[in-house]
Amino acid sequence: MTEFSDEEIRREAFLLWEAEGQPLWSNAYDHWFRAVEQLRRRHSAERDFGKALPTEEPDAPS
């Protein structure tokens, strides 16, 4: 089972390619693997950020 769909990775790789100025002679595999790593980091950061948020409201002072 893959973490991300091919479409998600393709979209992210395309954005990396665009950010580099759309080089004519670029390595598609490099963009693909970098896209996967970037998606993993983003997903991990979002998951960790969610854990840091309080799940309940703090008790009100009496």
| Cα–Cα separations (whole angstroms), residue 19 to 2, 10, 22, 52, 58 | 26, 14, 7, 31, 43
Min mean pLDDT across 9-13, 23-27, 40-44, 55-59 is at 55-59
What pLDDT is stored for residue 50 in this prediction?
64
- Domain layout of the chain by residue ranges: 6-50
pLDDT in tens, 23-39: 888 888 999 999 999 99
pTM of the predicted structure, to 2 decimals: 0.68
The token duo for 44 is: 């991990």
Confidence of residue 12 (pLDDT cuts 50, 70, 90): very high
